[in-house]
Amino acid sequence: ASGVKGIALNHENENVGIVVFGSDTAIKEGDLVKRTGSIVDVPAGKAMLGRVVDALGAPIDGKGALGDHERRRVEVKAPGIIERKSVHEPMQTGLKAVDSLVPIGRGQRELIIGDRQTGKTAIAIDTILNQKEMNGKENETLYCVYVAIGQKRSTVAQLVQILSEANALDYSVLVAATASDPAPLQFLAPYSGCAMGEYFRDNGMHALIIYDDLSKQAVAYRQMSLLLRRPPGREAFPGDVFYLHSRLLERAAKRSDQTGAGSLTALPVIETQAGDVSAYIPTNVISITDGQICLETELFYRGIRPAINVGLSVSRVGSAAQLKTMKQVCGSLKLELAQYREVAAFAQFGSDL
């Protein structure tokens, strides 16, 4: 009766478990619940560029209604093997440490992982800002979708300001499900952002999507699952928390030439606790993605920023997409850095003696 929409997640013999997208304060016992007969969908298209929307695609930036757009389902199957092509074009981040040592290709999924306050979001934002140079060439344009999950409203407002001051909002979409939003919206936001990014991928364009961060989505999903009385597993997460992230990240792909040759590149962010990369959610997402950029607090405080631990960071498919000139310059760099670390560790013994 209050007009709030929800999604049915549990179908029991006696009841149906529904999570509500919005405030539950207007809902009371005895209210009439009707089926809409439709699946959750969000607006997508070039009209979304420069806008800030919530997890359901409703604008929250005070700039009025959205322009001409189509609607896309938030949950769709990822492209099959035949529809894909191996990653071969570079996605320049504009950060030397990344582009030289852990190169990212268009259609790749590269995880950004690290403790809090190690500059994970900074890498993602810099990547968006640095596309401004590349986006002058029409066929190379990389549209950016930034999904903020469970962040403070002040942080999101600050981000909008940074992007608009740099004129980077012109090719970006922001999807925000802030910390004060209900868990179902924080759970839905990444899928909504992905549907918006898929519009570009399926129409022969290139897009980049940043999920900041997926740890908070997993926490929101855990909250929903426990309230729905689903059995908890490791760290009280539900059994299908792996599928939660895998079905999302599999949708980032490089399309084959027959299907338009578009691409969707994903940069998911995961926050670790005290550098524990072997916790449940971090190991899950590391196994789903095509490599990771590991950030360390110690390096950050030593003034090495971006605080990338080159030894732990890998890119599993990016080297195929790296520019030939960059490959020539950086070919021996990883080996030299590894040798440097070996000697540096050995030199410590010298000072101890």
Domain CATH number, residue 136: 3.40.50.300
* pLDDT tens per residue, range 63-88: 999 999 999 999 999 999 999 999 99
Q: What are the CA-CA distances from residue 216 to residues 67, 158, 242, 308 (Å)?
A: 31, 20, 14, 22
Does the pLDDT at position 351 exceed 90?
no
Lowest-confidence range among 108-112, 116-120, 343-347? Answer: 343-347
Name the percent of the chain lying above pLDDT 90: 89
Reply yes or no on whether 51 is catalytic: no
Give the per-residue pLDDT at 352: 58
**Within-domain flag for 13:** no
Does the pLDDT at position 137 exceed 80?
no
Distance CA 347, CA 148 (A): 43
Q: Given the residues 73, 84, 305, 316, select the one marked as catalytic.
A: 316
**Within-domain flag for 17:** no
User: What's the first-to-final CA gap in the chain, in angstroms?
Assistant: 77
Name the more confident of 273 and 353.
273
Give the per-residue pLDDT at 281: 98
Confidence of residue 119 (pLDDT cuts 50, 70, 90): very high
**Within-domain flag for 12:** no
Does the pLDDT at position 273 exceed 90?
yes
Helix locations, 203-311, DSSP H: 214-227, 241-249, 280-288, 297-301
Q: What are the CA-CA distances from residue 28 to residues 2, 6, 103, 177, 225 (Å)?
A: 9, 15, 53, 25, 22
Give the per-residue pLDDT at 233: 96
**Within-domain flag for 138:** yes
Name the more confident of 219 and 329.
219
Q: Pick from 14-28, 126-140, 264-278, 317-331 the range whose average pLDDT is largest.
A: 264-278
Confidence of residue 334 (pLDDT cuts 50, 70, 90): confident
Does the pLDDT at position 193 exceed 70?
yes
Does the pLDDT at position 135 exceed 90?
no
**Within-domain flag for 27:** no
Distance CA 187, CA 221 (A): 6
Give the per-residue pLDDT at 228: 97
* Overall domain count for the chain: 1
**Within-domain flag for 7:** no
pTM above 0.75, yes or no: yes
Does the pLDDT at position 331 exceed 90?
no
Q: Which domain holds residue 113?
A: 39-343
Mean of all residue pLDDT scores within the chain = 95
**Within-domain flag for 179:** yes
Name the more confident of 335 and 184.
184
Give the per-residue pLDDT at 68: 94
Give the per-residue pLDDT at 62: 95
Give the per-residue pLDDT at 26: 87
Q: What are the CA-CA distances from residue 110 to residues 80, 133, 188, 294 (Å)?
A: 20, 22, 21, 10
Distance CA 301, CA 125 (A): 20
**Within-domain flag for 6:** no
Two tokens at 324?
């030939």
Confidence of residue 2 (pLDDT cuts 50, 70, 90): confident
Give the per-residue pLDDT at 4: 92
Q: Pick from 22-26, 91-95, 133-137, 331-335 the range whose average pLDDT is largest.
A: 91-95
Confidence of residue 134 (pLDDT cuts 50, 70, 90): confident
DSSP assignment of 71-122 = EEESS-PPP-STTB----SB---S-HHHHHHS--BTT-B-EEEE-TTSSHHH
